[in-house]
Structures are given as C-alpha cells and as structure tokens.
Amino acid sequence: MKNEFNNNRKLIFRMLTDSVIVGTFAGLFSVLYRFIISKMDSSRKVLYSNFDFKSVIILFTMAIIISFLISKLLEWAPLSGGSGIPQIRGEILGKFKMNEWPTIISKIVGGSLGNLMGFSLGREGPSIQMGGASAKFIGKFFKRPPDEIKYMITAGAAAGLAAAFNAPLAGCIFAIEELHKTYSKYVLLPAFIASIIANYVSFVIMGAESSFSFAVTKSLPMRLIWVAILIGILTGFIGSFYNIMIVKCQNLFKKIDSKILKYTLLMAVTIVIGFTFYEVTGGGHGLLEEMAHKRFPVKYILAILILKLFYTTFCYGSGVQGGIFLPVLVIGGSCGALIFAMLENGINVDQYYINFIILGMSGMLASVVRSPILSVILVSEMAASFQHLIALSIVVIVSYYVAESLEIDPIYETLFERQLEDKNLLVPNETDLGNYSILEYTIVDGLDVIDKKLKEIKFPRHILIISIERDNKEFVPNAEDKILLGDKITVLLNTEDALEIDEYLKIE
C-alpha cells in the first residue's frame, strides 16, 4: 500500500512538472497566433479601404492563392479544420489522432490567412487545439504513457484558452466542463498549472491586461434583475438558432463536390461582405470594443447581429481553420446592446450599458456551448470584473433553460458527433498511442451503477475498474464491492470503447 501511495505521489509530481512545460509551449503558440491575427486585422483594413478596380483584382488574386493554400493545409492535416475543440475531445477519448506539427502549422497559417481575407472566425479554437497538440508532442518526447499524454493534452488545451483570452480560471473550467465532463485531480491540477503558466507567458509578452478594455463599474440593481431574464430568453433563442445554422451550413458545403466551387463561394461572399459591411469581418474583437464605447442605433445593432450570425455560421460551415467563441461573444454583446437600445427611452438604464453587453455575451455562450459555469467565469475574466455574478448567473441559467427546452444540442457535442461520422478521421484499431485508455469518473446522482455491486453492473463494454476513491481513501475493488454516490473510479478500457463508456458513466 505504501508503494502504491509513493508511486501515485510521483505520478502527480511528474504530471505537475510536465504541466509547467505544457503551459509554456501552449502560451507561446497562443501569443504567436494572437500577434499574427492582430497584424492580419490591420492588413485587412487596408485591403478593403478602397473599392476600386485595383483593390478588387488584388483581393481576387489573393482569394485564389489563399484558397489553394488552405485546401492543401487541410489535406495535409485533416483534423486542423474548424475550431479544434471537438478534435481535442476525440483525441482524449482515443477516437482521433492528431499529427502534432502539421496541425499546429495548419492552424497558424490557415487561420491567419482566413482572417486576412475576413472570415468571421475566432482565435480561441485554434489556440486550444495548438495547446493540445503541443502537449501531445511534449508527452511523446518525454515518452509518457498514453493515459498521461491524454491528461497533458487536456492541460495544453486549457492553457491555450487561458492564453487566448487571459482567463486562467476559465481554462480550468473548460477542461472539466467541456472536455472531460467530470472532476479529477489528474484533470484539474495539470490544467490549473498549465493555464496559470500560459497566462503568465501572455502577460509577459503581450502585457498584463484583460482581454477587453471595458468592465462593469456598477452592478445591476436587484430591481432591474428582470433585464437579465429578458436577455437570457433572447440569447437562448438566438444561440439555438445559431447552432442550427452551423449544421445547415456544414450540410450546404458538404453538398458541393467541387473544391473550386466551394472556395469560390466562400471567397465571393467574403469579399462582398468586406466591401459592403466590413465591421462583421474577422473575429470581432474590435467590433465588440467599439460597441462597448459607442451607442449604436437599433437598426445598426440588428444588422450586426443578423449578418454576424449568418456570416459566422457560413464561414464555419466551410470547414476552414477557425473558432466560434469570439464571434459568439460579439453576437451575444449585440443581443445585450439591442435590449438596451429598446429600453433606454422607457427606463433609466444608461449607467448599466456595459452590463447589458456582458450579460448578452454570457447568455449567448451558455446557449451555444451549454457550459454555464464556463460562460460566467470566462466573461468575468475577460472583462476583469466579478461584480455582476448574480446577474450573470441568472442570464446563463435562463439562456441554458431556453436552449434545453428547444431540444437543440450543444454545438461542440453536435460537431464531435458529426466528425465521428467521417471514417477517414477515426483512429485505426492499432495506433502508436496503444489500444487502451485509463479514464477517471466521478459517480453522480442519476447513474444506474449507484449502490450496485460490480458483478451486478452490466457495462455496455468490457472494462476493468482499477481503483475506487472514497472519502479520500483509494482501494482496489473486487466483484463484491459496491459503487456509491460520490465515488471516483479509475477504469482501464479499450480505446475504441471509450466513447460508449464515457456516455454510460456521465450525465449530460
């Protein structure tokens, strides 16, 4: 027993040490990508500044070259398309196998070139996937076991989000709520350390400042708490519609067999929008900052909301490199600004304008991703303010409830399931990761295994329960032992069975 304790302590110490390295690399890649994207934002503004024959010819020439490069990058690294978050989850479950450096290079080059053209896609997804890919490379370099590498990938992904938005707590919550969907010290501690290190790297290189320059200066009073409910209802409906449109746009591009026609459509729409409504191009960070410092009229806010929603889902549906977090926040901020514009003439809410925007951001994120705690923490860290937790929590709960009532699946669950349908992306039975996985699960209320002996449980696939942790004591169970509420169980299983066991031992 003492040897087991010592081995466990060495394992945790090694994982925490590895997390420092993982956080450093994830932070560096995220900062590099942020820097390149900022330069591309400036260059894009110049490209679309004049609508004349010369500018159009330059843009069409660039569109041809960039389309060719993005297409080749996606052929070279098939798992680098989209945001990268479903791919990280698939990697953890043993369904996908990223080629680390091709994925990182494709994300940086493809995402940057797409941003230069004006694709309405964010930087957080690529940062998350690059963090996970770099962590996988580090794990393989140090010859860590397959199960440890998966925890390192989780830590790297969390660190990527932390550095992308200067939000280390959100990085930790993301690892638990979105990737593993269960608590474990092997998930939380490495993710926490890697996120802090990555955020430190970001602060040292890019400056110690929050992701947004605006913040709440005065909390929304309880007499106006109904505003949070109103924003929650609106963002719940808009977020659900957004998820539907992502799937429809993916289906649209899947029907186009010709790559030439596919990229021609994408680039043509991008160039038209760039010249007619430039504000909705790119991820939208600058637009959200401008919205926070200016009061736009209702018609203009509606135009931003509608165009950003349709254009973002259109770009993402094409399968190019880029995420959706930042555009979703812009759409959410627009929802908040729209509610404010409709109410400001009737009631005195002028001093709470920023509150409306921040509430809209959280509500939209909650309805799209369906990770309520992440939605509250991420927006709070980005705005460097925790003065509005009650209002944020209410808007998130309402938005979440509306989306669930409409029976619209969370976007990353949908995207993950759709990727599983592509047999070309799945890992073959024999891989260099080995054909087994070690996963941890916390037994929560509602699971069928509670209060049953191990010999009585009919698992959907064959697994081996290595250990059970109960009341801070760990033991190796036998067939007569029961699984109780609150237990943390460690299981060994075939990698190809991981998804089915994952669904069986979790309440979504």
pLDDT along the chain (508 residues), means of 10: 54 87 96 94 92 91 96 94 91 87 96 95 92 95 88 94 91 87 81 95 85 76 90 97 96 92 95 95 90 90 96 95 93 95 85 91 95 90 79 95 94 90 61 60 83 86 84 83 85 76 74
pLDDT at 177: 85
Tokens of 335: 């929802």
C-alpha to C-alpha distance for 313 and 302, rounded to whole angstroms: 17
* Dihedral sign (CA 48, 53, 59, 62): negative
What count of other Cβ atoms lies within 10 Å of the Cβ of residue 403?
27
How far CA 308 is from CA of 280, 322, 328, 458, in Å, comes to: 6, 15, 9, 48
Sketch out the chain's domains with CATH numbers: 1-206 (1.10.3080.10), 222-421 (1.10.3080.10), 436-505 (3.30.70.1450)
Please answer whether residues 151 and 186 qualify as being in contact, where contact means their C-beta atoms are separated by less than 8 angstroms: yes
Coil vs helix vs strand at 345: coil
> Among candidates 498, 440, 503, which has minimal Cα distance to 469?
440
C-alpha to C-alpha distance for 370 and 363, rounded to whole angstroms: 10
Strand partners, 256: none
